[in-house]
């Protein structure tokens, strides 16, 4: 949503690998959340203009607690929770040379002295290809999308001095793929309501949690996700009270109580498909072995055909 307000300057992971001399992980702990990320794409990788790998890069971590990622950083800025918006705002001011009246070098911003932020701002401006990778520590904490809006603006402004980009450290397999397809088919990445016969977008109103919270949903088709594990308790309780169908290759925290579970072949193992990486690079995943189950596409297609047949018969008055 922050992208819809200010946009975002970004790059693919290969550019991080080949060019980035400054890496900032903010509210992200890829050492544990994206295990291959550091060695394949960022801090530890060796690329075209970064032949020294980790040695040739400056690594900064901004987080509320020490993490395995921060232990390997050159600079770790441990901040107080919920202050990300203030920090991004102060960094913007420092980068742009705006005077901060009433603050001294020792004034604490997000629990860290201003002098440290000044140092970071200089580091950012002096880098030749800087990338900030932000995770749910930033997106799901106080301020949410406003944090990202401020950070994206900071990233934009840094491009007056150097190349500087932001990348969202997205979790979950291929969540970007569903955003991409929704966008090219409806114009919006998520929270689309088709009740009116056309795509109608309003996050906060038509998002899953909000719809379920208002108990507007009277049946649910759940595909390749696990609401039983991810959604708040009372929302899950409501979901359990309505008819649910889960299309899912694995046993998870939803399948035990879903009314119908349709097992499918997992994509990339038993079915082929397209996977959109978190930097929007589309990858083809192959079918490696035969599974006794159909793919998601085959299941959805046959459901759609049967629904269409019933509807056509109804239209014809049979």
Partner 1 sequence: MLKIVNGQVYDPLNGDRGEVRDVYIEGGKVVDTLSTKIAEVIDATGCVVMPGGVEIHSHIAGAKVNSARSMCPEDHYDHFKKVTAITRSGSGFTIPTTFLTGYLYAQLGYTTAFEAAVPVLEARHAHEELQDTPLLDTGIYTLMGNNYLIMKVLSEKDDSARKNRLRDLVTWLLTSSKGYAVKVVNPGGVESWKWGKGSVDLDTPVPPFGVTPRGILLGLAEAIKDLRLPHGLHLHANHLGEPGNFKTTLETMYALEGYPIHFTHLQFHSYGMTKRWGLSSAASEIAEYLNTRPEFTYDVGQLVFGPATTMTSDSPMQFRLHQMTGNKWISADIEMETGSGIVPLAYKQSNLVNAIQWCIGLELLLLTKNPWQVSLTTDHPNAGPFTAYPHIIRLLMDYDFRNEMLEQLPPKVAQFTNLKDIKREYSLEEITIITRSGPAKDLGLKHKGHLGINADADVAIYRLLEDKEKMFARPAYVLKNGKVVVKDGEITQSLSGKSFLVDPDGSKVLPPDLIEEFAKYYTIALANYAVQDEYIIHPEVIACD
Residues that bind partner 1 (CB under 8 A): 3-15, 17-19, 40-41, 47-49, 128-129, 156, 159-160, 162-163, 165, 179-180, 183-189, 194, 196-201, 272, 274, 276, 280-284
Task: Return the ∠ at Cα 265 (arms to 178 and 32), rounded to 5°.
Answer: 60
Q: Which of residues 2 and 258 has its CB atom nearest to partner 1 in the complex?
A: 2
Q: Which of residues 229 and 283 has its CB atom nearest to partner 1 in the complex?
A: 283
What is the DSSP code string of 209-239? HHHHHTT--S-EEEES--HHHHS-HHHHHHH
Q: What is the dihedral of CA 240, 241, 244, 249, to 10 degrees?
A: 10
Q: Which of residues 69 and 152 has its CB atom nearest to partner 1 in the complex?
A: 152
Distances (CA, A) of 4 to 7, 185, 315: 6, 18, 41
Least gap, CB of 136 to partner 1 (angstroms):
20
Least gap, CB of 293 to partner 1 (angstroms):
20
Q: Which of residues 142 and 160 has its CB atom nearest to partner 1 in the complex?
A: 160
Between CA 121 and CA 123 the distance in angstroms is 5
The bridge status of strand 129-134 relative to strand 22-26 is: parallel
Q: Which of 45, 105, 112 is nearest to 83 (CA)?
A: 112
Contact call for residues 63 and 82 (beta carbons, < 8 A): no
Distances (CA, A) of 299 to 147, 206, 302: 40, 25, 5
Least gap, CB of 308 to partner 1 (angstroms):
11
Give the DSSP H/E element, type plus range, for residue 257.
none
Q: Which of residues 130 and 135 has its CB atom nearest to partner 1 in the complex?
A: 130
The bridge status of strand 75-78 relative to strand 192-193 is: unpaired
Least gap, CB of 24 to partner 1 (angstroms):
17
Least gap, CB of 237 to partner 1 (angstroms):
32
Least gap, CB of 298 to partner 1 (angstroms):
15
Q: Cβ–Cβ contacts within 10 Å for residue 246, how many?
A: 25
At residue 163, the 3 state secondary structure works out as: strand
Q: Which of residues 141 and 178 has its CB atom nearest to partner 1 in the complex?
A: 178
Least gap, CB of 121 to partner 1 (angstroms):
17
Q: Which of residues 184 and 233 has its CB atom nearest to partner 1 in the complex?
A: 184
């Amino acid at each position: 949503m922050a992208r819809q307000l200010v946009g975002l300057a970004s790059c693919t992971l290969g550019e991080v690998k080949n060019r980035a001399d400054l890496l900032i992980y903010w509210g992200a702990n890829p050492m544990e959340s994206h295990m291959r990320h550091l060695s394949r794409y960022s801090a530890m990788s060796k690329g075209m203009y970064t032949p020294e790998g980790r040695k040739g890069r400056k690594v900064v971590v901004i987080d509320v607690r020490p993490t395995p990622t921060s232990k390997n950083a050159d600079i770790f800025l441990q901040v107080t929770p919920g202050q990300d918006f203030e920090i991004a705002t102060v960094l913007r001011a420092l980068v742009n040379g705006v005077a901060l009246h009433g603050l001294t070098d020792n004034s604490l911003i997000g629990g860290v002295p201003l002098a440290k932020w000044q140092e970071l701002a200089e580091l950012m401006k002096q880098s030749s290809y800087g990338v900030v990778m932000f995770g749910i520590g930033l997106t799901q904490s106080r301020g949410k999308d406003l944090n990202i809006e401020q950070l994206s603006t900071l990233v934009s402004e840094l491009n007056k001095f150097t190349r500087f980009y932001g990348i969202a450290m997205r979790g979950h397999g291929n969540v970007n793929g569903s955003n991409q397809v929704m966008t090219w088919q409806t114009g919006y990445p998520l929270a689309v309501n088709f009740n009116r016969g056309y795509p109608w977008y309003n996050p906060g109103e038509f998002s899953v949690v909000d719809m379920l919270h208002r108990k507007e949903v009277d049946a649910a088709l759940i595909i390749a996700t696990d609401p039983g594990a991810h959604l708040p308790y009372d929302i899950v309780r409501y979901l359990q009270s309505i008819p649910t169908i889960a299309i899912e290759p694995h046993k998870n925290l939803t399948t035990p109580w879903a009314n119908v579970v349709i097992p499918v072949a997992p994509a990339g193992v038993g079915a082929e498909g397209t996977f959109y990486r978190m930097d929007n690079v589309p990858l083809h995943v192959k079918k490696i072995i035969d599974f006794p189950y159909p793919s998601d596409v085959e299941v959805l297609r046959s459901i759609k055909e049967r629904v269409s047949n019933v509807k056509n018969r109804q239209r014809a008055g049979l």
